[in-house]
Amino acid sequence: MLDAGADLGHKMTWLRAVGRLCERKIGLHTLGILISLSIISIAAVVLYHKLHNINVGKVLTAMATVEYSDVLIAALFVAGAYFTLTFYDLFAVRTIGRKDVPYRVAALAGFTSYAVGHNVGASVFTGGAVRYRIYSAWGLDAIEVAKLCFIAGLTFWLGNVTVLGFGFAYHPQAASDIDQLPLWLNRAAGIVALCALVGYVTWVWRTPRVIGRQNWKVQLPSGPLTLLQIVIGMVDLGCCALAMYMLVPNEPHLQFIDVAVIFITATMLGFASHSPGGLGVFDAAMLIALWEYDAEQLLAGLLIFRLLYYIVPFTLALMVLGVREFRLHFAGRRRAGGG
């Protein structure tokens, strides 16, 4: 037992040394870029092997033959997901103590920031810039907007950890289809994620928790509010997964849990790649994991999903932001003329 403990201690020391070396010699930012490029490169190779023999005519035919009712229901689920995203911002605004900001402003910031961030990529910066443009009109400074973005991001990750934790633990085969790891390892990862989630909720439940230092301090939501965060994140992910489920081929029939776990894991890989909309990475992961489906039919569903979840909201967001800027510009000119 002592030898095993000593061996574990040596391994941990070695891992910490490697981590410090990577941070010092490479830099965390550079390491993140390398990881993103690696994910994108692997996805590009996978897409080439999966799609180089694809029949574009069959894909277009498959898109045209998707039931209109399925597309409509998928569109409603997408609308539900974006409606839920508005509560990410409302929750965050209330958490940082700005009860004077009305829901309509939080809804505008939440919808437009996510619609732009999903499509442009680097959502932390692009979405943050959109949020700052909107919230600054209500007196929020850059630090308050940064805190708001942090709380909204926390809601997103808590929802993801919950859904993937349950998914990996309950149905590890779906996870193995995408990450190619043994069932026991995926189940263990799911259980560890759920244990960590329970530990976090317990930690914030006992007493108010504040993180950060100096001018950047954030009081984390309490235990009950953290549960509300988790519910918001789960509803968002559930709506997205249901939209995708409506667009995959009907045959062979797969359970919703299969598609949901694969979809959310593929989304996380796309998010980690920082490519706009997870383009290429998300699609490669879906094509690998859902190998049971005809490639042309599955690709048709993926393209329709991208149209509904990315292109249409992005177009609407740009229109809304354009109209808002137009109104602000002329309102400013009228005030200047009146002065």
Window from 36-40, 74-78, 137-141 with minimum mean pLDDT: 36-40
Window from 28-42, 76-90, 275-289 with minimum mean pLDDT: 28-42
Can you give the pLDDT at residue 78?
A: 96
Can you give the pLDDT at residue 14?
A: 36
Can you give the pLDDT at residue 9?
A: 41
Can you give the pLDDT at residue 337?
A: 59
Can you give the pLDDT at residue 31?
A: 47
Is 165 in contact with 190 (CB distance < 8 Å)? Answer: yes
Can you give the pLDDT at residue 70?
A: 93
Give me the phi and psi of 111, to 5 degrees please.
Answer: -65, -50
pLDDT at 26 over 70: no
Q: Is the peptide bond prior to 182 cis by the omega test (within 30 degrees of 0)?
A: no
Output the CA–CA distances (angstroms, integers) from residue 142 to 131, 132, 134, in the order listed.
10, 7, 12
Range 251-257 average pLDDT: 86
* Mean pLDDT score across all residues of the chain: 81
Range 111-139 average pLDDT: 84
Can you give the pLDDT at residue 336?
A: 61
Q: Count Cα neighbours of 189 within 13 Å in the Cβ-side half-sphere.
A: 18
Window from 14-28, 180-194, 206-220 with minimum mean pLDDT: 14-28
Domain range list for the chain: 33-49+81-328
**pLDDT tens digit sequence for 27-37:** 444 544 555 55
Range 211-238 average pLDDT: 90
Note the maximum CA span of the chain: 83
**pLDDT tens digit sequence for 167-196:** 999 888 888 888 778 899 999 999 999 999
**pLDDT tens digit sequence for 141-152:** 888 898 999 999
Long-range contact set of residues 66-71: C-beta below 8 Å, sequence gap at least 24? 66/247, 66/300, 66/301, 66/304, 70/246, 70/247, 71/246, 71/247, 71/304, 71/308
pLDDT classification of 129: cutoffs 50, 70, 90: confident
pLDDT at 275 over 90: no
Is 121 in contact with 276 (CB distance < 8 Å)? Answer: yes
pTM of the model: 0.81
Window from 42-46, 183-187, 202-206, 269-273 with minimum mean pLDDT: 42-46
pLDDT at 117 over 90: no
Dihedral sign, Cα of residue 211, residue 117, residue 102, residue 215: positive
